[in-house]
């Protein structure tokens, strides 16, 4: 049974560009959350999606947006990339109390 799948695993973008990260939840999970983990820091909550709607949001600017599809997969979009957006982006999926993190997408902004 596949866990949470995130793609791509690594990517490099230039300042000002836009990026889309993807997350396929664990089979049976219906809720997806996104976290940003800067180097040497703990993860920070970006937002959570359930039933294709953003349900909770952390302290991130509107440049960070997301989407959840009917098959529960999710995308994280970041516009106007800044150097400070360089981080590991983690996706977590959940159903009831069963929650699993993916291995993340390493985004480098140059």
Partner 1 sequence: AQSVTQPDIHITVSEGASLELRCNYSYGATPYLFWYVQSPGQGLQLLLKYFSGDTLVQGIKGFEAEFKRSQSSFNLRKPSVHWSDAAEYFCAVGAPGNTDKLIFGTGTRLQVFP
Which of 79, 107, 91, 82 shows the shortest CA–CA distance to 11?
A: 107
CA distance 79 to 43: 20
The span from the CA of 90 to the CA of 33, in Å, is: 8
14/96 with CB nearer partner 1: 96
> x/- contact string, 38-67, with partner 1 (CB under 8 A)?
--xxxxxx--x------xx-x---------
- Per CB under 8 A, does 97 bind partner 1? yes
- Site residues for partner 1 per CB under 8 A: 4, 31, 33, 40-45, 48, 55-56, 58, 90, 92, 94, 97, 99-104, 106
């Amino acid at each position: 049974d596949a866990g949470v799948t995130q793609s791509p695993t690594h990517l490099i973008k230039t300042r000002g560009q836009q990026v889309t990260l993807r997350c396929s939840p664990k089979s049976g999970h219906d809720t997806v959350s996104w976290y940003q983990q800067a180097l040497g820091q703990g993860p920070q909550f970006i937002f959570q999606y359930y039933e294709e709607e953003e349900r909770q949001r952390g302290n991130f600017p509107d440049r960070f947006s997301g989407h959840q599809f009917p098959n529960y997969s999710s995308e994280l979009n970041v516009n106007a990339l800044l150097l400070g957006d360089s981080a590991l982006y983690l996706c977590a999926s959940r159903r009831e109390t069963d929650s699993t993190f993916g291995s993340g997408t390493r985004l480098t902004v140059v």
